């Protein structure tokens, strides 16, 4: 058939053309004498919007502040922003566009852990430094990659390990009830939780894994009650967490419940969702930021947001709860660029991150990288929450889990 | 006139596709690679829904099977990509033939619902069969090989995806002009009439399922030539629906429609990504708009029989056919 | 597990399952009445349910209205949106010679538009509840615990079923709806306005969805994505018989209870796949569902 022949000819040309593909560029793209181009990406639409929209805004406002103060070694930061829709294929499209079309110097993005893992191999092949935003991204951080840095909020491995440590230390728990999700996220925190439990004599975990879209939590809650644990740990998102706390209260089960940071986005709404403070008599929350939005130590973050986004700040629902999480990654990027010197290259930036520590004034502990671990945050703090007041439990609780390569 | 349009369109496409690798970035080539996959998927769905009239909503499941089979083979043995793609297609085809048994027992909405349920169950398997698929962590895949040439970029995979799509398009046209194609369409119009003409409707239905699954499986195999990661969240109902939208907007029953629909909606999907907050609303309005003003699609399907033409209005497409 | 444990699991699993199942049942009824009359599986039913919850939420949070005003206004608003969509969009699709699959895709478009619109309001993101309609006291039945709200949900579902029975069997409009479902051409010949009936059916489905949204929101907490509950409604409709209203109710209860029993006696991981297995089993063994009677033959 004629059209087939045309297609065949075209194919031969294309294959031959591969040999003429342009050679790799000598200098790093995205950097000129006056600008550094950064690719910023996150879910800016759809169901993941809550995890990314204001987080990106926070990063943007920080970069803007740095520019106002003269930039980095005289170079202003130029941003290109892409929407990932919290979805692996779209994240890959966003990253490829940023690297190959927009020629960015480095990547700063990712709020959805499952999606972020999709970019790992591409980023390594393209040799672009990649700083996640608020994604835990454990799947892309272990085994560690020279190019990838993340868990600026906290890694899920750390979430699991830390909360078990808290349960054992504070409640002297032996039998621990543990409800997580049946996704990758849940798998990571469960692995570290089990690891942490094994480090203590006689401590065991009774795990129920539920789907995030669950409607009736009767089954998992009954099973937890039947296992009779000393404390219940929840590493679920906000909605299932509220359902479980409510159901526990209905069933009259009043042992301590600890909710990890995965579900604590909107505490005022949580009180309403569980039917009132009566359900929160024995309730604790995990946190990774320095303080509450009302804490004077956090004032600068919210003031800055109001200054840069006065219209948004006036709308209901803004700033979104995770907004502060956009600051530590941006601060890390800026510091790494500064440390890379007046003629930065990608390699120099990566070298600056080898042994890195940065106090952000946003998170409870400093950002820390070592050559073998690129997860920024590994410890958390805990507070008792009665629906009204938060009472800090002294101490930070660190996860003991470390990565061991598979044999 | 129609033949000229086809030849002109294909020649233009061939020229554009041949020139693209020299002038476009890897990102654009990535998008084109994805469009090629969508074309193969759309052609597969066209065969079972458009040609044979069987509402199979399990397409994404077979696509997923193709991806995992090809990915696992690539990781284990690094064979020539032709082998991975073919094996992916064959495995999917086998399962498609089995699932086709449902088509013998039920039709229309019941068939749609049961194939949909199968698709959901398959996605659950992808998410939970950790030993094989790595579950919700997603599956990392090593690059494909072609006679000592490793496909490590979209540019390198490009000729293969384009060639693959072109090949499947050629096969589809050939199928549609063959006796098998006539049998498909006979079954679409009326089971009973087909039987009367000597066509074994039950077997044909299963063959249609098998072919469409083979297409989806091969699309999965082609996907592994340029993608290094797959997560089960893209292998569910919504992907099947996207492909369905492609063939409906293009025009059910039309090969041209399947191809154009795939390109248009593949591009819309990526372009909308730039539109941020209003994406969902705009996407919904686009769907509503197409359905309100061009529900038959951009290209009409095959010549309709008088019976089908009479069955318009009042949404009378349910129940058993008399 | 001891026998006492098993017995407790059964009681609680079944009773709680019946309550959640009531909501699946109500949504399934909405799906079935639209399907019976227009032959269209409404893929936006879950989003319509979601909008019902958010409209009520908006009135309570932003406008600060009392429940006595919020409930009727929400019901009317949702019913109106549905009727409008049917009249403006769906009728146009039919007029442009669209059939089954095109109508379904139009409903899909509606689903996207509704979801996108709710996300724009700024009310989205966090899971939301509505103020309690009734005191949160618990009620003990045997070894199981239910709340007063649970009982209210159950009774409302039964009241709705009763109301629909009366509607379809003892009112002209209801009988006209049934007629249109069985034979549209013949109904037209005897003077039934197809357009009007289809609008009413959509409005009714919207009404039922809004009622269940107001009831169940405090129990399951809504987000803009809660529309996915429609999949369970479809499962319920299929299990009960997609052309049977009592079947939809029975199907809803079955799915609700099955989810719990699977979660309790198999594993919590399997809860999410149980409805799809139920669909497959029913469709293979008895496609018309439990109460579906004979597989319908339509007059074209």
Q: What is the DSSP string of C66-77?
A: -HHHHHHHHHHH
The CATH number of residue A350's host domain is 3.40.50.2300
Tell whether C298 is covered by a domain. Answer: no
State the residue for tokens 């879910």: A43
DSSP code string of B4-62 = HHHHHHHHHHHHHHHHHHHHS-HHHHHHHHHHHHHHHHHHHHIIIIIIT------HHHH
**Cβ–Cβ under 8 Å, residues A405 and A373:** no
**Helix C3-38 and helix A218-227: axis angle, to 10°?**
170
Average pLDDT (B220-239) is 93
Q: Please provide the distance, in angstroms rounded to a whole number, between the alpha carbons at the two ends of chain A.
A: 54
User: Helix, strand, or coil here: C144?
Assistant: strand
Distance from CA of C199 to the nearest CA of A (A): 30
The answer to whether residue B212 scores a pLDDT higher than 90 is yes
Nearest Cβ partner of B27 from A6, A96, A183? A96
3-state class of C135 per DSSP?
coil
Q: What is the mean pLDDT of residues A16-31?
A: 58
Bridge partner residues of A289 (DSSP): A363
Interface of C with B in 204-263 (CB under 8 A): 231, 234, 238, 242
Q: Which pLDDT band, with edges at 50, 70 and 90, does A199 fall under?
A: very high
User: Can you tell me the distance from the alpha carbon of A265 to that of C182, in angstroms, rounded to the nearest whole number?
Assistant: 51
How far is the alpha carbon of B291 from chain C, nearest alpha carbon, in Å?
Answer: 6
Q: Which residues of A touch C123 (CB under 8 A)?
A: 316-317
Provide the shortest C-alpha distance from residue B163 to chain C (in Å): 31
Residues A96/A22, Cβ–Cβ less than 8 Å: no
Q: Is the pLDDT of residue A68 over 70?
A: yes
The pLDDT tens digits for C43-101 are 999 999 999 999 999 999 888 888 889 999 999 999 999 999 999 999 999 888 888 88
- Exposure string (b/e) for A329-357, b if CB count within 10 Å is 16 or more? bbbbbbbbbeebeeebebeebbebbeebe
- Higher pLDDT, residue A50 or A230: A230
Question: Of A290, A301, A356, A300, nearest to A326 (Cα)?
Answer: A301
Residue pointed to by tokens 């065991």: A204
Q: How far is C242 from chain A (nearest CA, A)?
A: 23
Measure the CA–CA gap between A148 and A329, rounded to whole angstroms.
Answer: 12
Residue B108 forms contact with C (CB below 8 Å): yes
A170 plus A312 within the same structural domain: no
**In this prediction, what percent of chain C has a pLDDT beyond 90?**
53
The pLDDT of residue A4 is 53
Q: Which residue of chain A is at minimal alpha-carbon distance from B141? A: A121
Chain A interface, best mutation among C129, C145, C215, C225, by max A CB count within 10 A: C129
Percent of chain B at pLDDT > 90 equals: 62
pLDDT higher than threshold 80 for residue B318: no
Q: Does B131 touch chain A (CB under 8 A)?
A: no
pLDDT for position A264 = 86
Rounded mean pLDDT, A26-53: 89
Cβ-defined contact of A243 to C125 (cutoff 8 Å): no
Same domain (yes/no): A255, A386: yes
**Which chains have 3+ CB pairs within 8 A of C?**
A, B
Q: Is residue A406 part of a domain?
A: no
Cβ–Cβ of C102/B284 closer than 8 Å? no
Instruction: Judge if A137 and A202 occupy the same domain.
Output: no
CATH number (domain holding residue C176): 1.10.3470
**Same domain for A342 and A262?**
no
**Contact at CB, C263 and A242, closer than 8 angstroms:** no
Provide the pLDDT for residue A100: 93
Q: Are A273 and A303 in the same domain?
A: no
Per DSSP, helices labelled H in chain B are 2-23, 26-45, 59-77, 81-99, 101-105, 108-128, 130-133, 154-176, 179-189, 191-196, 201-223, 237-250, 255-272, 279-293, 306-310
Partner A contacted by B135 (CB < 8 A): yes
Query: Subunits with at least 3 CB pairs below 8 A relative to chain B?
Result: A, C
B contacts of A2 (beta carbons < 8 Å): 7
Q: What is the pLDDT of residue B286?
A: 93
Q: Is the pLDDT of residue A15 over 70?
A: no
The pLDDT of residue B110 = 83
Output the pLDDT for position B305. 42
Chain B with chain C: Cβ pairs closer than 8 A: 163
Cβ-nearest to B17 among A10, A85, A100:
A10
The whole-angstrom separation of Cα A4 and Cα C29 is 53
Mean pLDDT score, B85-105: 92
pLDDT class for C117, splitting at 50, 70, 90? very high
- Identify which of B34, B234, B274 has the shortest CB distance to residue A88: B234
Contact predicate A334/A72, CB 8 Å: yes
Neighbour tally for C136: CB within 10 Å = 16
B319 to C287: CB separation less than 8 angstroms, yes or no: no
pLDDT at residue A405 in the model: 75
pLDDT at C297 over 60: no
Cis peptide leading into residue A305 (ω within 30°): no
From CA A164, how far away is CA A205, in angstroms rounded?
A: 9
First to last CA, chain C: 57
For residue A68, tell me if it sits in a domain. Answer: yes
According to the model, what pLDDT value does residue B309 have? Answer: 46
Determine, for residues A273 and C127 on separate chains, whether the beta-carbon distance falls below 8 Å.
Answer: yes
Name the β-bridge partners of B175: none
Instruction: Say if residues A143 and A113 touch (Cβ distance below 8 Å).
Output: no
User: How many CB atoms are closer than 10 A to CB A371?
Assistant: 10
In a domain, A119, yes or no: yes
Give the separation between CA A149 and CA C289, rounded to whole angstroms: 53
What's the structural domain count of chain A?
2
**Residues of A with Cβ-Cβ distance to B21 under 8 angstroms:** 14, 17-18, 21
B12, B15, B18, best to mutate vs chain A, most A CBs in 10 Å: B18
Choose among C106, C298, C300: nearest Cβ to B291. C106
pLDDT(A39) > 50: yes
Torsion region of A103: left, alpha or beta (phi above 0 gives left; psi -120 to 50 gives alpha): left
Lowest-confidence range among A131-135, B29-33, B191-195, C104-108? Answer: B191-195
Confidence of residue A64 (pLDDT cuts 50, 70, 90): very high
Under an 8 A CB cutoff, do B315 and C100 touch?
yes
Same domain, A281 and A199: yes
Give, for C173, the enclosing helix (H) or strand (E): helix C172-182
Overall size of chain A counted in residues: 407
Report yes or no on C128 lying in a domain.
Answer: yes
Regarding whether A213 and A95 lie in a shared domain, the answer is: no
Chain B positions in Cβ-Cβ contact with residue A101 (cut-off 8 Å): 25, 27-28
pLDDT digits (tens, 9 = 90+) for C128-158: 999 877 887 888 888 889 999 899 999 988 8
Q: Which residues of A touch B30 (CB under 8 A)?
A: 92-93, 96
Q: Tell me if B30 and A92 make a contact (CB, 8 A cut-off).
A: yes
Split at pLDDT 50, 70, 90, the class of B296 is confident
Of B10, B127, B159, the CB nearest to A3: B10
C283 and B124 within 8 Å at the Cβ level: the answer is: no
A 10 A CB-CB count for C72 gives 10
Tell me the pLDDT tens digit for each residue of A117-165: 999 989 999 999 999 999 988 989 999 999 999 999 999 999 999 999 9
Same domain, A150 and A190: no
Which pLDDT belongs to residue C294?
62
The pLDDT confidence band at residue A168, using thresholds 50, 70 and 90, is very high
Residue in this structure with the two tokens 């998927």, named with its chain if needed: B41
Q: Are C242 and C292 in contact (CB under 8 A)?
A: yes
- Tell me: pLDDT of A48 over 90: no
Distance between CA C25 and CA C43 in Å, rounded?
Answer: 16
Confidence band (pLDDT; 50, 70, 90) for B307?
Answer: very low
Q: Answer whether residue A163 is part of any domain.
A: yes
Q: Is A407 a domain residue?
A: no
Q: Inform me whether the pLDDT recorded for B319 exceeds 90.
A: no
The β-bridge partners of C17 are none
Predicted confidence band of residue B2 (pLDDT cuts 50, 70, 90): low
Distance from CA of C262 to the nearest CA of A (A): 8
Q: What is the pLDDT of residue A3?
A: 47
The torsion angle over the Cα atoms of residues C283, C285, C287 and C288, rounded to 10 degrees, is -140
Q: What percent of chain A has pLDDT over 90?
A: 70
pLDDT for A209: 94
A96 touches chain B (CB under 8 A): yes
Mean pLDDT of B104-117: 84
pLDDT at A38 (0 to 100): 97
pLDDT digits (tens, 9 = 90+) for C185-240: 888 888 888 999 999 999 999 999 999 999 899 889 999 999 999 989 999 999 99
Interchain CB distance below 8 Å, A218 and C1: no
Is a pLDDT exceeding 60 seen at residue A9? no
- B281 to chain C: closest CA residue: C113
Residue A229 has pLDDT above 80, yes or no: yes
Give me the residue from A209, A216, A266 closest to C126, CB to CB. Answer: A266
Residues A232 and A257 sit within 8 Å (Cβ to Cβ)? yes
Q: In residues, how long is chain B?
A: 322
Range of the domain at C267: 3-285
Q: What are the distances in angstroms from CA A185 to CA A123, A137, A181, A405, B233?
A: 21, 9, 7, 19, 14
Minimal CA–CA distance to A155: which of A53, A238, A261, A50? A261
Please report whether residue A102 resides in a domain: yes
Which CA distances in Å does A375 have to A125, A159, A198, A340, A355?
21, 12, 23, 20, 12
Selecting from B14, B135, B227 the residue whose C-beta is nearest the C-beta of A6 gives: B14
- Residue A259 pLDDT greater than 70, yes or no: yes
Alpha-carbon distance A266 to A291, whole Å?
A: 14
Q: Do A6 and B233 touch (CB under 8 A)?
A: no
- How far CA B232 is from CA of B57, B290, C121, C149, C204, in Å, comes to 17, 29, 31, 37, 37
Residue A294, pLDDT score: 80
* Per-residue pLDDT at C2 exceeds 50: yes
User: What DSSP assignment string belongs to B190-213?
Assistant: -HHHHHHTT--HHHHHHHHHHHHH
Of B50, B106, B71, the closest CA to residue B235 belongs to B71
Predicted local distance difference test score (pLDDT) of residue B132: 92
**How distant, in Å, are the alpha carbons of A123, A129, A238, A337 from that of A76?**
24, 18, 39, 12
Mean pLDDT of chain A: 89
**Greatest Cα pair distance in chain A:** 79
Residues 62-91 of B with CB under 8 A from C: none
Within a domain: C93: yes
Residues of C within 8 A of A46 (CB-CB) are 119
Please give the pLDDT value at position A299: 92
Tell me how crowded residue A202 is: count the other CB atoms within 10 A of its CB: 7
- Residue A74 sits in which domain range? 35-154+296-376
Chain position carrying tokens 């209005």 = B313
| Residue A21 pLDDT | 43
Q: Is residue A19 part of a domain?
A: no
Does a structural domain hold residue C292? no
Q: Which residues contact A172 (CB under 8 A, 6 or more apart)?
A: A230
* Averaged pLDDT score across all residues of chain C: 89
Nearest chain A residue to B171 by CA distance is A4
Contact map slice: B 240-299 vs C, CB within 8 A = 241, 244-245, 248, 252, 277-296
Whole-number pLDDT of residue B301: 63
Residues belonging to chain C: 300
User: Which residue in chain A has the smallest CA separation from C128?
Assistant: A273
The complex's ipTM? 0.90
Using a CB-CB cut-off of 8 Å, the residues of chain B touching A97 are 27
8-state DSSP, B94: H
Residue with tokens 């478009």: C109
**Mean pLDDT taken over chain B:** 88
Residue B125: CA atoms inside 13 Å, Cβ hemisphere, count? 15
Q: Which residue has the higher pLDDT, C296 or B85?
A: B85
Question: How far is it, in rounded angstroms, from Cα C124 to Cα A51?
Answer: 12
Partners of A252 on chain C (C-beta within 8 Å) are 138, 145
Mutation target vs A (from B136, B223, B224; most A CBs, 10 A cutoff): B136
């Amino acid at each position: 058939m004629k059209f087939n022949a045309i297609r065949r000819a075209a194919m031969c040309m294309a294959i031959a053309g591969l040999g003429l593909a342009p050679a790799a560029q000598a200098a790093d793209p995205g950097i000129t004498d006056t600008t550094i181009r950064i690719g910023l990406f996150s879910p800016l639409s759809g169901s993941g919007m809550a995890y990314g929209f204001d987080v990106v805004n926070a990063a943007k406002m920080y970069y803007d502040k740095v520019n106002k103060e003269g930039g980095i070694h005289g170079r202003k930061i130029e941003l290109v922003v892409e929407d990932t829709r919290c979805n692996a294929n779209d994240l890959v499209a966003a990253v490829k566009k940023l690297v190959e079309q927009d020629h960015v110097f480095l990547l700063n993005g990712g709020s959805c852990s499952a999606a972020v893992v999709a970019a790992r191999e591409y980023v390594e092949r393209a040799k672009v430094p990649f700083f996640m935003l608020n994604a835990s991204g454990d799947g892309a951080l272990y085994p560690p990659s020279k190019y990838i840095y993340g868990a600026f909020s906290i890694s899920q491995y750390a979430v699991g390990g830390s909360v078990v440590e808290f349960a054992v230390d504070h409640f002297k728990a032996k039998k621990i009830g543990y409800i997580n999700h049946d996704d990758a996220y849940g798998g990571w925190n469960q692995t570290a939780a089990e690891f942490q439990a094994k480090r203590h004599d006689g401590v065991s975990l009774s795990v129920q894994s539920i789907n995030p879209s669950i409607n009736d939590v009767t089954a998992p809650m009954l099973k937890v009650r039947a296992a009779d644990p000393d404390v219940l740990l929840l590493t679920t998102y906000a909605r299932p967490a509220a359902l479980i706390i409510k159901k526990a209260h209905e069933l009259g089960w009043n042992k301590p419940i600890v909710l990890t940071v995965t579900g604590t986005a909107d505490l005022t709404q949580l009180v309403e969702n569980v039917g009132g403070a009566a359900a929160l008599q024995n309730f604790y929350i995990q946190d990774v930021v320095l303080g509450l939005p009302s804490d004077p130590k956090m004032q600068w973050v919210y003031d800055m947001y109001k200054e840069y986004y006065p219209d948004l700040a006036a709308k209901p629902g803004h700033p979104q709860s995770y907004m502060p999480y956009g600051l530590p990654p941006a601060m890390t990027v800026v510091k790494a660029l500064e440390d890379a010197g007046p003629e930065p290259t990608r390699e120099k930036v990566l070298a600056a991150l080898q042994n890195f520590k940065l106090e952000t004034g946003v998170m409870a502990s400093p950002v820390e990288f070592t050559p073998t671990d690129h997860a920024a945050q590994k410890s958390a703090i805990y507070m008792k929450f009665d629906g009204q007041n938060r009472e800090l439990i002294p101490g930070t609780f660190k996860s003991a889990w470390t990565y061991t390569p598979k044999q | 006139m129609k033949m000229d349009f086809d030849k002109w369109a294909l020649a233009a496409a061939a020229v554009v596709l041949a020139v693209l690798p020299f002038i476009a970035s890897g990102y654009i080539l990535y998008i084109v690679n994805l469009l090629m996959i969508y074309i193969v998927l759309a052609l597969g769905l066209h065969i079972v829904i458009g040609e044979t009239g069987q509402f199979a909503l399990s397409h994404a499941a077979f696509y997923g099977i193709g991806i995992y089979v090809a990915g696992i083979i690539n990781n284990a043995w690094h064979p020539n990509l032709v082998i991975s793609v073919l094996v992916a297609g064959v495995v999917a085809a086998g399962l498609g033939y089995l699932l086709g048994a449902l088509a013998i027992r039920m039709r229309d909405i019941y068939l749609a619902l049961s194939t949909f349920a199968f698709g959901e169950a398959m996605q659950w398997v992808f998410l939970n069969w950790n030993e094989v698929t790595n579950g919700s962590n997603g599956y990392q895949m090593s690059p494909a090989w072609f006679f000592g040439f490793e496909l490590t970029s979209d540019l390198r995979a490009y000729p293969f995806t384009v060639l693959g799509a072109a090949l499947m398009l050629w096969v589809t046209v050939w199928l549609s002009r063959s006796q098998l194609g006539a049998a498909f369409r006979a079954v679409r119009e009326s089971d009973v009439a087909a039987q009367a003409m000597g066509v074994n409707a039950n077997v044909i239905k299963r063959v249609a399922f098998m072919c469409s699954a083979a297409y989806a499986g091969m699309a999965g195999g082609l996907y592994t030539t340029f993608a290094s990661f797959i997560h089960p969240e893209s292998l569910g109902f919504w992907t099947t629906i996207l492909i369905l939208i492609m063939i409906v907007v293009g025009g059910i029953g039309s090969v041209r429609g399947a191809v154009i629909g795939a390109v248009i909606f593949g591009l819309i999907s990526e372009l909308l990504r730039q539109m941020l907050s209003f994406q969902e609303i705009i996407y919904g309005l686009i769907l509503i708009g197409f359905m309100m003003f061009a529900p038959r699609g951009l290209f009409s399907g095959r010549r309709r029989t008088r019976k089908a033409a009479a069955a318009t209005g009042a949404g009378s497409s349910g129940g058993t056919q008399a | 597990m001891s026998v006492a444990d098993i017995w407790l699991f059964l009681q609680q699993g079944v009773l709680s399952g019946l309550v959640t199942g009531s909501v699946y049942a109500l949504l399934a009824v909405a799906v079935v009445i639209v399907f019976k009359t227009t032959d269209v599986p409404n893929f936006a039913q879950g989003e319509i349910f979601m909008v019902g919850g958010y409209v009520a939420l908006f009135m309570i949070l932003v406008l600060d209205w009392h429940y006595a005003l919020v409930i009727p206004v929400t019901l009317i608003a949702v019913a109106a949106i549905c009727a409008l969509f049917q009249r403006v969009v769906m009728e146009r699709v039919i007029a442009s010679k669209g059939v089954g699959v095109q109508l379904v895709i139009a409903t899909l478009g509606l689903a996207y538009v509704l979801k996108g619109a709710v996300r724009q309001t700024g009310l989205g993101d966090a899971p939301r509840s509505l103020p309690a309609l009734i005191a949160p006291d618990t009620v003990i039945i045997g070894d199981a615990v239910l709340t007063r709200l649970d009982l209210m949900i159950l009774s409302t579902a039964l009241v709705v079923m009763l109301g629909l029975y009366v509607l379809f069997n003892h009112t002209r409009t209801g009988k006209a709806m049934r007629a249109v479902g069985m034979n549209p051409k013949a109904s037209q010949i005897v003077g039934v306005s197809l357009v009007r009936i289809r609008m009413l059916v959509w409005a009714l489905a919207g009404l039922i969805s809004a009622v269940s949204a107001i009831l169940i929101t405090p129990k399951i907490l809504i987000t803009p994505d809660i529309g996915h509950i429609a999949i369970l409604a479809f499962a319920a409709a299929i299990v009960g018989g997609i052309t049977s209203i009592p079947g939809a109710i029975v199907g809803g209860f079955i799915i609700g209870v099955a989810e719990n029993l699977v979660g309790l006696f198999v594993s919590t991981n399997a809860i999410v796949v149980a409805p799809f297995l139920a669909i497959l089993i029913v469709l293979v063994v008895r496609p018309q569902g439990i109460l579906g009677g004979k597989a319908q033959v339509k007059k074209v």
